[in-house]
Amino acid sequence: MNKHTVVALVQDQPGVLNRIVSLFRRRGYNIESLAVGHTESEGISRLTLVVEAADVEQVVKQLYRLIDVLKVSDVTDDPTVEREMVLVKLHAPSDKRAEIVALMEVFGAKIVDVGTNSMIIEMTGAPTKVQNFVDVIRAFGVKEMMRTGRIAMVRGTRGHPADVHSESNGHANERAVLN
């Protein structure tokens, strides 16, 4: 099964995240990561999901059945900017600190906390770069690690601005949906 990055615009109604995640559970789509947050439009949130499913077209169609979902796209094959963030509490005895700091320079990571024997490192980047970083710093001894979900945005002027109409007179619109 392939991994797909799916971006969804949703109305920020109570329980909308629950609806989406429950949908994935009962249809058997595996969520590898999920990130959600506000957009440039009030009342509209954007989700980035990395999902493993045999038929991603079905995933998209099932999401559209949810009343609060406005727009869904599979951006896996589109040129996108993708980012993840990781916070790592690293075992950092004094004799290793110089080495760690040098590594931070290479990855563009920041030290955001220093303790007697540990440091918290913050690193942001494309998913593969984050993965590289995590693999490399393991050697120092990871006390705690927290990765966020991936967020993605399509390059150039195409994409998913959150400017959908908020008024509806209750009558169904007739708009061809190509499937």
Partner 1 sequence: MSEQQTGAQILCEALIREGVEVMFGIPGGAIMPFYYAMVEYPALRHVLCRHEQGAGHAAEGYARATGKVGVCLGTSGPGATNLVTAIADAWMDSTPIVAITAQVSSAVLGKDAFQETDITGITMPITKHNYLIKRVEDIAYAVKAAFHIASTGRPGPVLVDITKDALQGRMVQNWDIKLNLPGYKPTYTGNQKQIREAIKLIAKAKKPLIMAGNGVQMSGATAELRELVERTRIPVTTTLHGIGSIPEDHPLAIGMPGMHGWVHVNRAIQECDVLLNIGGRFDDRVTGKTSGFAPNAKVIHVDIDPSEIGKNIKAAIPIVGDAKLVLQAMLAELPGKEELSALHGHASDWMEHIQEMQDKHQGKQQYIDRAKTVGMNLPPHDVYAALTRILNTRGNYRVVTDVGQHQMWAAQLIDWIKPRTHITSGGAGTMGFSVPAAMGVAIAFPEDTVWAICGDGCFQMMNQEMATMMQEGIKNVKIAVINNGYLGMVRQWQELFENKRYSGTPLSGPDFAKLAEAYGWTGITIDRSADVEAAIETAYAIDGPVLIDFRVEREVNVFPMVPAGSSIGEMIMETPVG
Of 102 and 176, the one with the shorter C-beta distance to partner 1 is 176
Name the one range near partner 1 by CB under 8 A: 82-90, 91-99, 117-125, 169-177.
Answer: 169-177
CA distances from 115 to 74, 82, 83, 109, 111 (A): 43, 32, 28, 17, 11
CA atoms of 92 and 127, how far apart (whole Å) = 25
Query: Does position 58 bind partner 1 by CB under 8 A?
Result: yes
Of positions 7, 10, 75, 119, contacts partner 1 by CB under 8 A: 10
CA atoms of 127 and 81, how far apart (whole Å) = 10
Question: Which SS3 state, helix, strand or coil, does residue 12 take?
Answer: coil
Handedness of CA 153, 154, 157, 163 (dihedral sign): negative
Query: Does position 151 bind partner 1 by CB under 8 A?
Result: no
Query: Does position 102 bind partner 1 by CB under 8 A?
Result: no
Contacts of 88 (CB under 8 A, 6+ apart): 120, 121, 123, 134, 137, 142, 144, 145, 146
Query: Does position 95 bind partner 1 by CB under 8 A?
Result: no
Q: Are 130 and 17 in contact (CB under 8 A)?
A: no
Name the one range near partner 1 by CB under 8 A: 29-37, 58-66, 94-102, 103-111.
Answer: 58-66
Query: Does position 173 bind partner 1 by CB under 8 A?
Result: yes
Of 2 and 116, the one with the shorter C-beta distance to partner 1 is 2
Name the one range near partner 1 by CB under 8 A: 30-38, 62-70, 115-123, 153-161.
Answer: 62-70
Name the one range near partner 1 by CB under 8 A: 67-75, 85-93, 129-137, 150-158.
Answer: 67-75
Angle at 125 between CA 31 and CA 104, to 5 degrees: 130
Query: Does position 166 bind partner 1 by CB under 8 A?
Result: yes
* Amino acid, single-letter form, for residue 59: V
Of positions 70, 88, 100, 120, contacts partner 1 by CB under 8 A: 70
CA atoms of 137 and 162, how far apart (whole Å) = 38
Residues that bind partner 1 (CB under 8 A): 10-11, 14-15, 18-19, 22-23, 26, 57-58, 61-62, 64-70, 164-170, 172-179
